[in-house]
Amino acid sequence: MLKNFKKKSLKVKIAIIAFMVFMIALVSYVLYSTLKPEPPVAYEMSKVSYGEITDYLEVSGTVESGVSEKFTAIEGVFVEEVFASVGDNVKKGDLLATFNVSGATKYVNDAKKDYDKALKDYNDAKKASDSNAKRKAELATEIADVQNEIKVKEKEIKDLENEIQNTETTTEYVAIPQEQIDAIAMQMAQNGATEEEINAFIESAKNTQIPSSSTDNGKQELLMQKNLELSKLNSELSSLQAENAVAVSTDNESMLETLKTLADAQKATYENVKKIYDEMKNGWYADNDGIVTVVNIKAGEKFIPVADQSASIDLSALLGDNANSNLITSLVGDSVSVPTGTGITLESYEDMIVSVTVGKSDLLKIKVGMEAIVTSLDSEYEAEVIYVGATAVDSSGSLDISSITTSLMGGTGGANGALVKIKIHNPDEKVVIGFDVDIKIKLQTVQNVLKVPVEAVVYNNGNYFVFVFDETKGTATKRTIEKGTLDDVSYEIVSGLVEGEMVIKSPDPNMEDGTSVQNKTA
């Protein structure tokens, strides 16, 4: 073969050598492409470091006016002029409407009469109650004094009986002589005792037996006298206790309280009617800058409330649930009931709030005064939590992102939540009443904590882990962590990492330990 190659021409020799070199190169390339190792996957890395994390609760809600000014009109008043229409922007102090209120004067006068009567009824009852209370106090003192006198008298009688028993050989018990009973009864009559008291004494005296001794008539007479005095005291005590029972039975605190409640309610009714009357008499003026959202009055016509906005000023709402309804009905009688309705509604732009409903787990995190960020039409506004409800409300119409997340992860939830109100600072034309907006409530800010990007953390089967990059070996290692709070960009690391380590962002969650990787951001 070599001899044949030598016989070839120079051109042929060059072609053969070139072909052989090409074939060797081709085989070498195929072998290299087949057997060469895969290059490491490049990932963005982040260094574990200390910093601050702000924890937000994200919700959404509807913009409302913080001050909704409703102008109430009395049915039947004559509307003279109306200076506002729905959609008008008005300034504080602008005149909205004028009226002829002569048709409502009767309502004011009747309400005043009802209040005056209720107040007089209460004052009369209070005076009688005070007098009765004073007499009850006097009776309590008198009863106590007589009871003490009876105890003293009973002891004197007992001591005298013992003395007579020890000094006499024979003792017998005899009735009190009638002449002594008559004498004492006459004396009681002269002292002002009633016929009932005298009869009670005579009956008691007739049934009283006193010891009689043949050896000491003086002591027997003294014992008789003391028994008569005891009978008189018992009769006086019975009379005082009977009077006290009458005083207690006539002391009706419930009635007095009801009359006081009624008087207060009649006063509130009168003041309410008078306020509406005076405002209409002077004309309706805007108390704030805002937009007119309701107009139910028409110039040149008498006011008739819209069916779903009509109301009446009466005592039902003012008396409360604790009043005695039957008693109130009998006392009120034909008290005035004033038909009213909303004539104009003005929504103020000076105070704009957002109402949201949060779940029970989030409610415990929110406090009045917390800062918030409201986003409306791609603009952000500083805001503040001004109200946190203490009772549950229907949560329909608002979106609680946190509660949805909890539900998706197996947490418990419910249809009800609590109302939270957030005030927007310095709103402008992009904050529109009735529009939905997004809110981030700043729950807490933690300082000087170890943190990593949220995209570096992987969740699986109840555990959180990251992949740590070994810069020396160029490999990744899976490591379980304990996380703390979080914000939009970072997780707090409670344990599992140390400052300065590198973690992989958005790793393949199925990556095995020791996998070769490279730093895309290096």
Number of folded domains in the chain? 4
CATH, residue 409: 2.40.30.170
Residue 136 and residue 244: Cα distance in Å, rounded? 6
For residues 331 and 286, state if they share a domain: yes
Q: Are residues 258 and 285 in the same domain?
A: yes
Shared domain check, 126 and 16: no
Question: In terms of domains, do 159 and 198 share one?
Answer: yes
* pLDDT for the residue 335: 53
For residue 37, the model assigns a pLDDT of 58
Q: Are residues 170 and 319 in the same domain?
A: yes
Task: Say what the pLDDT of residue 252 is.
Answer: 67
Name the domain boundary from 387, 419, 443.
443
Given this model, what pLDDT does residue 411 score? 41
Domain end residue (candidates: 341, 373, 405): 341
pLDDT at 77: 93
Looking at the fold, whether 501 and 439 belong to one and the same domain comes out as no
pLDDT at 64: 84
| Segments of the chain scoring below 70 in pLDDT | 1-17, 19, 21, 25-38, 167-174, 191-192, 209-217, 247, 249-252, 307-336, 392-416, 522
Q: Could you count the other beta carbons within 10 Å of the beta carbon of residue 227?
A: 21
The answer to whether 349 touches 290, Cβ cutoff 8 Å, is: yes
Task: Give the per-residue pLDDT at 72.
Answer: 92
DSSP secondary structure of 299-325: TTSB----GGGEEEE-SHHHH-SSS-H
Rg, Å, the chain Cα set: 50
Query: What pLDDT is recorded for position 396?
Result: 43
Tell whether 431 and 467 lie within a shared domain.
no
* CA–CA separation, 329 and 332 (whole Å): 5
pTM over 0.85: no
pLDDT computed for residue 453 by the predictor: 93
For residue 40, the 8-state DSSP code is P
Whether residue 229 is found in the same domain as residue 301:
yes
Residue 374 in contact with residue 380, Cβ under 8 Å? yes
391 and 471 assigned to the same domain:
no
Domain that holds residue 512: 42-55+447-519
Q: Is 433 found in the same domain as 421?
A: yes
Please tell me whether residues 167 and 244 are part of one structural domain: yes
Boundary of a domain, candidates 415, 443, 471? 443
pLDDT at 323: 45
Q: What CATH number does the domain containing 488 carry?
A: 2.40.420.20
* Edge-to-edge strands, sheet with 78-82: 78-82, 95-100, 284-285
85 and 157 in a single domain? The answer is yes
SS3 490: strand
